[in-house]
Chains A and B, each alone.
Chain A
Amino acid sequence: MADFLVNALIAGLSLALVAGPLGSLVVWRRMAYFGDTLSHAALFGVALGLMLDVSPTLAVTVACVLLAVLLVTLQQRQPLASDTLLGILAHSTLSLGLVTLSFMRDVRIDLMGYLFGDLLAVGSHDLLWIVGGSALVLVLLMLLWRPLLAVTVHEELARVEGLPVTAIRLALMLLIAVVIAVAMKIVGVLLITSLLIIPAAAAQRHARTPEGMAVGASLLGVVAVCLGLAMSWYEDTPAGPSIVVSAAGLFLASFILPRRPA
Protein backbone atom coordinates (compact mmCIF):
# COMPACT_ATOMS: atom_id res chain seq x y z
CA MET A 1 0.00 0.00 0.00
CA ALA A 2 1.27 3.49 -0.85
CA ASP A 3 2.71 5.59 1.99
CA PHE A 4 0.28 8.43 1.50
CA LEU A 5 -2.61 6.00 1.83
CA VAL A 6 -1.23 4.61 5.11
CA ASN A 7 -0.84 8.16 6.44
CA ALA A 8 -4.38 9.02 5.35
CA LEU A 9 -5.77 5.91 6.99
CA ILE A 10 -4.02 6.51 10.33
CA ALA A 11 -5.06 10.18 10.34
CA GLY A 12 -8.67 9.39 9.44
CA LEU A 13 -8.97 6.58 11.98
CA SER A 14 -7.56 8.60 14.89
CA LEU A 15 -9.96 11.44 14.11
CA ALA A 16 -12.89 9.01 13.83
CA LEU A 17 -12.10 7.54 17.26
CA VAL A 18 -12.14 10.90 19.05
CA ALA A 19 -15.10 12.20 17.01
CA GLY A 20 -17.35 9.47 18.47
CA PRO A 21 -17.55 10.63 22.10
CA LEU A 22 -17.06 14.31 21.27
CA GLY A 23 -19.73 14.19 18.55
CA SER A 24 -22.14 12.47 20.96
CA LEU A 25 -21.72 15.35 23.41
CA VAL A 26 -22.28 17.82 20.56
CA VAL A 27 -25.52 16.04 19.63
CA TRP A 28 -26.81 15.77 23.24
CA ARG A 29 -26.01 19.40 23.97
CA ARG A 30 -27.34 20.62 20.59
CA MET A 31 -24.05 22.25 19.73
CA ALA A 32 -23.94 21.25 16.04
CA TYR A 33 -24.25 24.81 14.80
CA PHE A 34 -21.69 25.91 17.38
CA GLY A 35 -19.20 23.39 15.98
CA ASP A 36 -19.96 24.56 12.48
CA THR A 37 -19.28 28.17 13.45
CA LEU A 38 -15.99 27.26 15.07
CA SER A 39 -14.90 25.40 11.97
CA HIS A 40 -15.72 28.38 9.75
CA ALA A 41 -13.57 30.51 12.03
CA ALA A 42 -10.78 27.99 11.48
CA LEU A 43 -10.09 29.42 8.02
CA PHE A 44 -9.55 32.80 9.59
CA GLY A 45 -7.12 31.06 11.92
CA VAL A 46 -5.25 29.64 8.91
CA ALA A 47 -4.94 33.11 7.42
CA LEU A 48 -3.68 34.50 10.72
CA GLY A 49 -1.20 31.67 11.05
CA LEU A 50 0.23 32.35 7.59
CA MET A 51 0.37 36.08 8.28
CA LEU A 52 2.15 35.73 11.63
CA ASP A 53 4.16 32.72 10.50
CA VAL A 54 3.05 30.38 13.28
CA SER A 55 1.85 26.79 13.04
CA PRO A 56 -1.62 26.68 11.43
CA THR A 57 -2.81 24.11 13.99
CA LEU A 58 -1.93 26.47 16.83
CA ALA A 59 -3.42 29.48 15.02
CA VAL A 60 -6.67 27.63 14.32
CA THR A 61 -7.00 26.51 17.94
CA VAL A 62 -6.44 30.07 19.15
CA ALA A 63 -8.94 31.47 16.61
CA CYS A 64 -11.59 28.94 17.72
CA VAL A 65 -11.05 29.74 21.39
CA LEU A 66 -11.28 33.50 20.72
CA LEU A 67 -14.49 32.95 18.79
CA ALA A 68 -15.99 30.89 21.62
CA VAL A 69 -15.17 33.66 24.11
CA LEU A 70 -16.63 36.31 21.76
CA LEU A 71 -19.79 34.25 21.38
CA VAL A 72 -20.31 33.84 25.12
CA THR A 73 -19.73 37.57 25.65
CA LEU A 74 -22.20 38.54 22.91
CA GLN A 75 -24.81 36.13 24.26
CA GLN A 76 -24.76 37.89 27.61
CA ARG A 77 -24.68 41.47 26.31
CA GLN A 78 -27.47 41.68 23.74
CA PRO A 79 -30.84 40.07 22.95
CA LEU A 80 -30.21 38.33 19.56
CA ALA A 81 -30.83 34.57 19.68
CA SER A 82 -27.84 32.22 19.68
CA ASP A 83 -28.49 30.83 16.21
CA THR A 84 -28.56 34.36 14.74
CA LEU A 85 -25.27 35.17 16.46
CA LEU A 86 -23.73 31.89 15.30
CA GLY A 87 -24.84 32.61 11.72
CA ILE A 88 -23.28 36.06 11.86
CA LEU A 89 -20.02 34.81 13.34
CA ALA A 90 -19.73 31.73 11.09
CA HIS A 91 -19.99 33.56 7.82
CA SER A 92 -18.17 36.71 8.92
CA THR A 93 -15.15 34.75 10.10
CA LEU A 94 -15.13 32.58 6.97
CA SER A 95 -15.28 35.68 4.77
CA LEU A 96 -12.72 37.46 6.91
CA GLY A 97 -10.41 34.47 6.44
CA LEU A 98 -10.87 34.52 2.63
CA VAL A 99 -10.36 38.28 2.44
CA THR A 100 -7.24 38.11 4.61
CA LEU A 101 -5.81 35.32 2.44
CA SER A 102 -6.36 37.39 -0.70
CA PHE A 103 -4.16 40.16 0.72
CA MET A 104 -1.21 37.81 0.95
CA ARG A 105 -0.42 37.69 -2.75
CA ASP A 106 3.00 36.15 -2.26
CA VAL A 107 1.56 33.18 -0.37
CA ARG A 108 0.23 30.37 -2.52
CA ILE A 109 -2.20 28.15 -0.71
CA ASP A 110 -4.55 25.46 -1.82
CA LEU A 111 -7.86 26.94 -0.74
CA MET A 112 -9.86 23.89 -1.78
CA GLY A 113 -7.61 21.82 0.49
CA TYR A 114 -8.54 23.94 3.49
CA LEU A 115 -12.24 24.05 2.64
CA PHE A 116 -12.76 20.38 1.82
CA GLY A 117 -9.67 18.67 3.19
CA ASP A 118 -6.67 17.09 1.57
CA LEU A 119 -6.35 13.80 3.36
CA LEU A 120 -4.15 12.16 0.76
CA ALA A 121 -1.55 14.92 1.23
CA VAL A 122 -1.11 14.27 4.97
CA GLY A 123 2.64 14.15 5.60
CA SER A 124 4.45 12.63 8.57
CA HIS A 125 4.63 16.01 10.33
CA ASP A 126 0.84 16.49 9.95
CA LEU A 127 0.32 12.94 11.08
CA LEU A 128 2.14 13.63 14.34
CA TRP A 129 -0.18 16.58 15.05
CA ILE A 130 -3.31 14.65 14.12
CA VAL A 131 -2.52 11.51 16.13
CA GLY A 132 -1.14 13.47 19.10
CA GLY A 133 -4.04 15.93 19.16
CA SER A 134 -6.66 13.21 18.84
CA ALA A 135 -5.05 11.10 21.55
CA LEU A 136 -4.84 14.08 23.91
CA VAL A 137 -8.51 14.98 23.38
CA LEU A 138 -9.57 11.36 23.79
CA VAL A 139 -7.73 11.02 27.12
CA LEU A 140 -9.19 14.32 28.40
CA LEU A 141 -12.67 13.22 27.34
CA MET A 142 -12.30 9.99 29.31
CA LEU A 143 -11.11 11.86 32.41
CA LEU A 144 -13.89 14.44 32.18
CA TRP A 145 -16.62 12.08 31.00
CA ARG A 146 -18.73 11.91 34.15
CA PRO A 147 -18.71 15.67 34.85
CA LEU A 148 -19.41 16.35 31.17
CA LEU A 149 -22.42 14.03 31.33
CA ALA A 150 -23.64 15.57 34.59
CA VAL A 151 -23.42 19.08 33.13
CA THR A 152 -25.23 17.91 29.99
CA VAL A 153 -28.08 16.44 32.04
CA HIS A 154 -28.69 19.47 34.28
CA GLU A 155 -26.26 22.35 34.69
CA GLU A 156 -27.70 23.78 37.90
CA LEU A 157 -27.96 20.39 39.56
CA ALA A 158 -24.31 19.83 38.67
CA ARG A 159 -23.38 23.23 40.09
CA VAL A 160 -25.23 22.60 43.37
CA GLU A 161 -23.48 19.23 43.61
CA GLY A 162 -20.17 21.08 43.53
CA LEU A 163 -18.97 20.68 39.94
CA PRO A 164 -17.08 23.63 38.38
CA VAL A 165 -19.63 23.99 35.60
CA THR A 166 -18.10 27.01 33.85
CA ALA A 167 -14.68 25.37 33.69
CA ILE A 168 -16.19 22.13 32.34
CA ARG A 169 -18.10 23.99 29.61
CA LEU A 170 -14.96 25.89 28.69
CA ALA A 171 -13.01 22.64 28.58
CA LEU A 172 -15.55 21.15 26.17
CA MET A 173 -15.24 24.20 23.89
CA LEU A 174 -11.45 23.86 23.95
CA LEU A 175 -11.65 20.16 23.10
CA ILE A 176 -13.92 20.93 20.16
CA ALA A 177 -11.51 23.67 19.04
CA VAL A 178 -8.54 21.29 19.14
CA VAL A 179 -10.40 18.61 17.19
CA ILE A 180 -11.42 21.15 14.54
CA ALA A 181 -7.82 22.27 14.18
CA VAL A 182 -6.79 18.63 13.82
CA ALA A 183 -9.61 17.64 11.49
CA MET A 184 -9.20 20.53 9.09
CA LYS A 185 -6.48 18.72 7.15
CA ILE A 186 -8.68 15.65 6.86
CA VAL A 187 -12.13 16.84 5.80
CA GLY A 188 -11.70 20.63 5.54
CA VAL A 189 -13.42 23.39 7.47
CA LEU A 190 -16.75 23.04 5.67
CA LEU A 191 -17.16 19.35 6.47
CA ILE A 192 -15.74 18.99 9.99
CA THR A 193 -19.05 19.16 11.85
CA SER A 194 -20.46 16.34 9.74
CA LEU A 195 -17.72 14.03 10.99
CA LEU A 196 -18.69 14.89 14.57
CA ILE A 197 -22.44 14.59 14.32
CA ILE A 198 -23.25 12.07 11.57
CA PRO A 199 -21.65 8.99 13.23
CA ALA A 200 -23.13 10.01 16.61
CA ALA A 201 -26.59 10.46 15.09
CA ALA A 202 -26.26 7.10 13.33
CA ALA A 203 -25.26 5.35 16.58
CA GLN A 204 -28.02 7.02 18.60
CA ARG A 205 -30.93 4.84 17.50
CA HIS A 206 -29.31 1.64 18.66
CA ALA A 207 -27.53 2.81 21.80
CA ARG A 208 -28.77 2.13 25.34
CA THR A 209 -26.10 3.93 27.34
CA PRO A 210 -24.19 7.18 26.76
CA GLU A 211 -20.96 5.19 26.47
CA GLY A 212 -22.60 2.77 24.03
CA MET A 213 -23.50 5.67 21.79
CA ALA A 214 -20.00 7.17 22.04
CA VAL A 215 -18.25 3.88 21.20
CA GLY A 216 -20.80 3.10 18.48
CA ALA A 217 -20.17 6.50 16.92
CA SER A 218 -16.41 5.89 16.98
CA LEU A 219 -16.84 2.52 15.25
CA LEU A 220 -19.19 3.94 12.62
CA GLY A 221 -16.68 6.77 12.06
CA VAL A 222 -13.91 4.18 11.52
CA VAL A 223 -16.09 2.34 8.99
CA ALA A 224 -16.91 5.63 7.22
CA VAL A 225 -13.21 6.53 6.97
CA CYS A 226 -12.35 3.11 5.50
CA LEU A 227 -15.24 3.21 3.01
CA GLY A 228 -14.46 6.80 2.01
CA LEU A 229 -10.78 6.12 1.47
CA ALA A 230 -11.58 2.99 -0.54
CA MET A 231 -13.96 5.00 -2.71
CA SER A 232 -11.31 7.66 -3.18
CA TRP A 233 -8.65 5.07 -4.06
CA TYR A 234 -10.67 3.10 -6.57
CA GLU A 235 -12.90 5.80 -8.07
CA ASP A 236 -10.57 8.80 -7.69
CA THR A 237 -13.13 10.81 -5.73
CA PRO A 238 -12.04 13.53 -3.25
CA ALA A 239 -11.20 11.80 0.06
CA GLY A 240 -12.87 14.13 2.59
CA PRO A 241 -16.26 14.34 0.87
CA SER A 242 -16.13 10.57 0.21
CA ILE A 243 -15.80 9.94 3.97
CA VAL A 244 -18.75 12.22 4.68
CA VAL A 245 -20.86 10.54 1.99
CA SER A 246 -20.03 7.14 3.53
CA ALA A 247 -21.01 8.40 6.99
CA ALA A 248 -24.30 9.73 5.62
CA GLY A 249 -24.93 6.33 4.03
CA LEU A 250 -24.37 4.65 7.41
CA PHE A 251 -26.77 7.14 9.01
CA LEU A 252 -29.50 6.21 6.51
CA ALA A 253 -28.74 2.51 7.04
CA SER A 254 -29.26 2.94 10.80
CA PHE A 255 -32.94 3.56 10.06
CA ILE A 256 -33.27 0.34 8.09
CA LEU A 257 -31.86 -1.87 10.83
CA PRO A 258 -34.58 -2.78 13.32
CA ARG A 259 -34.20 -1.20 16.74
CA ARG A 260 -33.44 -3.71 19.47
CA PRO A 261 -36.35 -4.15 21.85
CA ALA A 262 -35.81 -2.14 25.03
Chain B
Amino acid sequence: MSEALVRLEDIHVRFARQPVLEGARLDVRAGEIVTLIGPNGAGKTTLVRTVLGLLKPDRGSVWRKPRLRIGYMPQKLHVDATLPLTVLRFLRLVPGVDRSRALAALTEVGAEQVIDSPLQSISGGELQRVLLARALLREPELLVLDEPVQGVDVTGQAELYRMIGRLRDRHGCGVVMVSHDLHLVMSATDQVVCLNRHVCCSGHPEQVSNDPAFRELFGQDARSLAIYHHHHDHAHDLHGAVLRPHVHDDKCGHRHG
Protein backbone atom coordinates (compact mmCIF):
# COMPACT_ATOMS: atom_id res chain seq x y z
CA MET B 1 0.00 0.00 0.00
CA SER B 2 1.25 3.49 -0.79
CA GLU B 3 2.43 5.98 1.76
CA ALA B 4 -0.13 7.63 4.07
CA LEU B 5 -0.21 11.43 3.82
CA VAL B 6 -3.06 12.52 6.04
CA ARG B 7 -5.22 10.71 8.55
CA LEU B 8 -8.12 12.40 10.33
CA GLU B 9 -10.11 10.52 12.94
CA ASP B 10 -13.28 11.34 14.83
CA ILE B 11 -13.23 15.04 13.91
CA HIS B 12 -15.74 17.25 15.72
CA VAL B 13 -16.15 20.93 14.86
CA ARG B 14 -18.77 23.39 16.05
CA PHE B 15 -19.42 26.94 14.83
CA ALA B 16 -21.46 29.18 17.14
CA ARG B 17 -22.63 26.07 19.01
CA GLN B 18 -23.89 24.48 15.79
CA PRO B 19 -22.25 21.16 15.03
CA VAL B 20 -20.62 21.19 11.59
CA LEU B 21 -18.67 17.95 11.79
CA GLU B 22 -19.51 15.11 14.12
CA GLY B 23 -17.02 12.28 14.05
CA ALA B 24 -15.77 12.68 10.47
CA ARG B 25 -12.74 10.74 9.29
CA LEU B 26 -10.52 10.89 6.24
CA ASP B 27 -7.56 8.95 4.97
CA VAL B 28 -5.41 10.06 2.05
CA ARG B 29 -2.52 8.15 0.54
CA ALA B 30 0.06 9.13 -2.04
CA GLY B 31 -1.17 8.76 -5.62
CA GLU B 32 -4.81 8.55 -4.56
CA ILE B 33 -7.65 10.89 -5.54
CA VAL B 34 -10.19 11.32 -2.75
CA THR B 35 -13.34 13.30 -3.50
CA LEU B 36 -15.60 14.76 -0.84
CA ILE B 37 -19.22 15.02 -1.84
CA GLY B 38 -22.28 15.97 0.15
CA PRO B 39 -25.07 18.53 0.34
CA ASN B 40 -24.58 22.20 1.23
CA GLY B 41 -23.71 22.58 4.89
CA ALA B 42 -22.39 19.01 5.09
CA GLY B 43 -19.03 20.27 6.32
CA LYS B 44 -16.94 19.56 3.20
CA THR B 45 -15.05 22.83 3.29
CA THR B 46 -14.64 22.53 7.06
CA LEU B 47 -13.06 19.11 6.64
CA VAL B 48 -10.75 20.46 3.92
CA ARG B 49 -9.72 23.35 6.17
CA THR B 50 -8.92 20.81 8.88
CA VAL B 51 -6.71 18.88 6.45
CA LEU B 52 -4.93 22.13 5.56
CA GLY B 53 -4.37 23.02 9.22
CA LEU B 54 -6.35 26.26 8.85
CA LEU B 55 -8.80 25.05 11.46
CA LYS B 56 -8.26 23.18 14.69
CA PRO B 57 -11.02 20.70 15.43
CA ASP B 58 -12.71 20.80 18.83
CA ARG B 59 -12.09 17.11 19.16
CA GLY B 60 -10.44 14.37 17.14
CA SER B 61 -6.98 13.50 15.92
CA VAL B 62 -5.20 15.01 12.94
CA TRP B 63 -2.10 13.32 11.63
CA ARG B 64 -0.07 14.66 8.74
CA LYS B 65 3.08 13.16 7.32
CA PRO B 66 5.93 15.18 8.83
CA ARG B 67 6.85 18.19 6.68
CA LEU B 68 4.07 17.39 4.23
CA ARG B 69 4.19 19.79 1.26
CA ILE B 70 0.65 20.83 0.44
CA GLY B 71 -0.46 22.59 -2.76
CA TYR B 72 -3.74 24.33 -2.07
CA MET B 73 -6.20 25.58 -4.66
CA PRO B 74 -8.76 27.80 -2.90
CA GLN B 75 -12.40 27.98 -3.92
CA LYS B 76 -12.07 31.54 -5.12
CA LEU B 77 -9.50 34.25 -5.34
CA HIS B 78 -10.47 37.86 -4.94
CA VAL B 79 -7.67 40.28 -5.61
CA ASP B 80 -8.51 43.97 -5.25
CA ALA B 81 -8.86 45.64 -8.65
CA THR B 82 -6.31 48.29 -7.63
CA LEU B 83 -3.48 45.75 -7.23
CA PRO B 84 -1.59 45.57 -10.54
CA LEU B 85 -0.62 41.90 -10.59
CA THR B 86 0.12 39.79 -13.65
CA VAL B 87 -0.33 36.03 -13.64
CA LEU B 88 3.46 35.63 -13.71
CA ARG B 89 3.91 37.87 -10.69
CA PHE B 90 1.15 36.00 -8.86
CA LEU B 91 2.96 32.71 -9.47
CA ARG B 92 6.27 34.26 -8.42
CA LEU B 93 4.84 34.90 -4.96
CA VAL B 94 5.87 31.27 -4.40
CA PRO B 95 9.55 31.50 -3.35
CA GLY B 96 12.11 30.32 -5.89
CA VAL B 97 9.90 30.61 -8.97
CA ASP B 98 11.25 32.26 -12.11
CA ARG B 99 9.63 32.87 -15.46
CA SER B 100 10.60 29.51 -16.96
CA ARG B 101 9.26 27.51 -14.01
CA ALA B 102 6.05 29.56 -14.03
CA LEU B 103 5.69 29.00 -17.78
CA ALA B 104 6.25 25.26 -17.38
CA ALA B 105 3.55 25.03 -14.70
CA LEU B 106 1.12 27.07 -16.78
CA THR B 107 1.82 24.91 -19.83
CA GLU B 108 1.11 21.82 -17.77
CA VAL B 109 -2.37 23.12 -16.98
CA GLY B 110 -2.93 24.56 -20.46
CA ALA B 111 -2.93 28.24 -19.51
CA GLU B 112 0.44 29.42 -20.85
CA GLN B 113 -1.22 32.13 -22.97
CA VAL B 114 -2.23 34.23 -19.93
CA ILE B 115 1.24 34.47 -18.34
CA ASP B 116 1.51 38.23 -18.89
CA SER B 117 -2.17 39.09 -18.41
CA PRO B 118 -3.41 40.99 -15.37
CA LEU B 119 -4.80 38.49 -12.88
CA GLN B 120 -8.14 40.32 -12.70
CA SER B 121 -8.70 40.18 -16.47
CA ILE B 122 -8.62 36.42 -17.12
CA SER B 123 -11.73 34.22 -17.31
CA GLY B 124 -13.01 32.01 -14.50
CA GLY B 125 -11.71 28.86 -16.20
CA GLU B 126 -8.30 30.39 -16.79
CA LEU B 127 -8.14 31.53 -13.17
CA GLN B 128 -8.84 27.97 -11.96
CA ARG B 129 -5.95 26.72 -14.09
CA VAL B 130 -3.65 29.47 -12.81
CA LEU B 131 -4.54 28.56 -9.22
CA LEU B 132 -3.79 24.92 -10.04
CA ALA B 133 -0.44 25.94 -11.55
CA ARG B 134 0.41 27.83 -8.37
CA ALA B 135 -0.41 24.75 -6.30
CA LEU B 136 1.86 22.65 -8.57
CA LEU B 137 4.75 25.09 -8.19
CA ARG B 138 4.92 24.05 -4.56
CA GLU B 139 5.91 20.56 -5.80
CA PRO B 140 3.17 19.18 -3.58
CA GLU B 141 2.94 15.75 -2.06
CA LEU B 142 -0.72 16.50 -1.44
CA LEU B 143 -2.95 18.63 -3.66
CA VAL B 144 -6.02 20.06 -1.94
CA LEU B 145 -8.66 21.44 -4.31
CA ASP B 146 -11.78 23.14 -2.99
CA GLU B 147 -14.39 22.95 -5.77
CA PRO B 148 -11.82 23.08 -8.54
CA VAL B 149 -14.31 23.37 -11.39
CA GLN B 150 -16.32 26.28 -10.03
CA GLY B 151 -17.21 28.76 -12.76
CA VAL B 152 -16.07 26.44 -15.53
CA ASP B 153 -18.44 25.25 -18.27
CA VAL B 154 -19.35 21.57 -18.55
CA THR B 155 -16.83 20.62 -21.25
CA GLY B 156 -14.15 22.49 -19.35
CA GLN B 157 -15.11 20.66 -16.15
CA ALA B 158 -14.59 17.21 -17.65
CA GLU B 159 -11.26 18.34 -19.04
CA LEU B 160 -10.20 19.81 -15.70
CA TYR B 161 -10.97 16.53 -13.92
CA ARG B 162 -8.99 14.59 -16.54
CA MET B 163 -6.15 17.02 -16.02
CA ILE B 164 -6.21 16.49 -12.26
CA GLY B 165 -5.95 12.74 -12.94
CA ARG B 166 -2.97 13.31 -15.26
CA LEU B 167 -1.26 15.56 -12.72
CA ARG B 168 -1.68 12.87 -10.09
CA ASP B 169 -0.09 10.30 -12.41
CA ARG B 170 2.80 12.57 -13.30
CA HIS B 171 3.59 13.94 -9.84
CA GLY B 172 2.51 10.94 -7.80
CA CYS B 173 0.79 13.21 -5.31
CA GLY B 174 -2.32 12.51 -3.30
CA VAL B 175 -5.37 14.62 -4.13
CA VAL B 176 -8.25 15.72 -1.92
CA MET B 177 -11.02 17.59 -3.66
CA VAL B 178 -14.47 18.90 -2.89
CA SER B 179 -17.09 18.60 -5.55
CA HIS B 180 -20.77 18.98 -6.32
CA ASP B 181 -20.80 17.44 -9.77
CA LEU B 182 -21.51 13.80 -9.19
CA HIS B 183 -21.39 12.59 -12.78
CA LEU B 184 -18.06 14.04 -13.77
CA VAL B 185 -16.31 13.40 -10.51
CA MET B 186 -17.15 9.72 -10.27
CA SER B 187 -15.04 8.75 -13.25
CA ALA B 188 -12.04 10.73 -12.02
CA THR B 189 -11.83 9.44 -8.48
CA ASP B 190 -10.31 6.54 -6.58
CA GLN B 191 -12.24 7.06 -3.40
CA VAL B 192 -15.48 8.94 -2.78
CA VAL B 193 -16.31 10.16 0.69
CA CYS B 194 -19.94 11.03 1.11
CA LEU B 195 -20.18 13.55 3.91
CA ASN B 196 -23.09 14.86 5.92
CA ARG B 197 -21.45 16.07 9.16
CA HIS B 198 -20.06 12.57 9.50
CA VAL B 199 -18.98 10.13 6.82
CA CYS B 200 -22.18 8.54 5.50
CA CYS B 201 -20.39 6.14 3.22
CA SER B 202 -17.08 5.96 1.45
CA GLY B 203 -15.32 3.73 -0.99
CA HIS B 204 -14.75 3.21 -4.67
CA PRO B 205 -17.14 5.31 -6.78
CA GLU B 206 -19.04 2.29 -8.11
CA GLN B 207 -19.62 1.11 -4.58
CA VAL B 208 -20.70 4.43 -3.22
CA SER B 209 -22.98 5.36 -6.05
CA ASN B 210 -25.46 2.68 -5.13
CA ASP B 211 -25.18 3.04 -1.40
CA PRO B 212 -28.62 3.80 0.06
CA ALA B 213 -27.14 6.68 2.06
CA PHE B 214 -25.67 8.13 -1.10
CA ARG B 215 -28.93 7.71 -2.99
CA GLU B 216 -30.82 9.36 -0.22
CA LEU B 217 -28.48 12.34 -0.18
CA PHE B 218 -28.55 12.96 -3.87
CA GLY B 219 -31.99 11.66 -4.85
CA GLN B 220 -32.64 11.55 -8.58
CA ASP B 221 -29.07 12.33 -9.50
CA ALA B 222 -27.82 9.23 -7.79
CA ARG B 223 -30.05 6.91 -9.76
CA SER B 224 -28.50 7.81 -13.08
CA LEU B 225 -25.10 6.79 -11.77
CA ALA B 226 -23.70 3.31 -11.67
CA ILE B 227 -25.30 0.74 -9.41
CA TYR B 228 -23.72 -1.11 -6.55
CA HIS B 229 -24.75 -2.72 -3.31
CA HIS B 230 -23.84 -2.06 0.30
CA HIS B 231 -25.89 -1.78 3.42
CA HIS B 232 -26.27 1.20 5.56
CA ASP B 233 -27.40 1.12 9.13
CA HIS B 234 -28.73 4.60 9.68
CA ALA B 235 -30.51 7.59 8.19
CA HIS B 236 -30.63 11.32 8.90
CA ASP B 237 -33.33 13.69 10.05
CA LEU B 238 -33.64 17.22 8.64
CA HIS B 239 -30.92 18.47 10.95
CA GLY B 240 -28.53 15.77 9.94
CA ALA B 241 -28.82 13.86 13.21
CA VAL B 242 -28.56 10.10 12.88
CA LEU B 243 -31.86 8.19 13.06
CA ARG B 244 -31.12 4.55 13.60
CA PRO B 245 -34.50 2.85 13.81
CA HIS B 246 -35.93 4.46 10.69
CA VAL B 247 -35.48 2.51 7.48
CA HIS B 248 -35.53 4.52 4.29
CA ASP B 249 -37.04 3.71 0.99
CA ASP B 250 -37.91 5.77 -2.03
CA LYS B 251 -41.34 6.58 -0.66
CA CYS B 252 -40.46 8.04 2.70
CA GLY B 253 -40.14 11.40 0.99
CA HIS B 254 -37.33 13.10 2.81
CA ARG B 255 -33.75 13.79 2.13
CA HIS B 256 -30.78 15.08 3.96
CA GLY B 257 -30.62 18.80 4.59
Contacts and interface: CB of A to CB of B under 8 A. Distances in A.
Interface of A: 27-30, 146, 149-150, 152-154, 156-157, 159-161, 201, 204, 207-210, 212-213, 262
A153 B79 contact: yes
B84 interface: yes
Given A28-B82, A29-B80, A262-B118, A153 B93 contact: yes
Contact of A149 (B93, B134, B138): B93
Interface in B73-107: 74, 77, 79-80, 82-86, 89-90, 93-95
A150 B77 CA distance: 12
B214 interface: no
29 contacts: A27-B82, A29-B80, A146-B95, A150-B93, A153-B85, A153-B90, A153-B93, A154-B77, A154-B79, A156-B54, A156-B72, A157-B77, A157-B134, A160-B52, A160-B54, A160-B70, A160-B144, A161-B94, A161-B138, A201-B82, A208-B84, A209-B84, A209-B86, A209-B89, A210-B84, A210-B89, A212-B84, A213-B83, A262-B118
A146 B52 CA distance: 22
A194 to B, nearest CB: 16
B53 interface: yes
Contacts of B144: 160
A207 B118 CA distance: 11
A30 B80 contact: yes
Contacts of A157: 72, 74, 77, 134
A146 B53 contact: no
A153 B94 CA distance: 12
Contacts of B77: 153-154, 157
A159 B54 CA distance: 8
A116 B138 CA distance: 49
A28 B118 CA distance: 15
Interface in B143-164: 144
B93 A146 contact: yes
Nearest to B70: A160
Contacts of A149: 93
A149 B82 CA distance: 13
Interface string B107-151: 000000000001000000000000000100010000010000000
A204 B144 CA distance: 34
A213 B84 contact: yes
Nearest to B131: A157
Nearest to B49: A156
Given A28-B80, A157-B134, A161-B72, 11 more contacts: A28-B82, A146-B95, A153-B83, A154-B74, A159-B53, A160-B53, A160-B54, A160-B144, A161-B94, A201-B82, A262-B118
A238 B84 CA distance: 35
A156 B52 CA distance: 9
A207 B83 CA distance: 9
Nearest to B85: A210
B168 to A, nearest CB: 19
Instruction: For the complex of A and B, list the 8 residue pairs with the smallest distance between their C-beta atoms, beginning with the closest.
Output: A160-B72, A28-B83, A150-B93, A207-B84, A28-B80, A204-B82, A160-B52, A208-B84
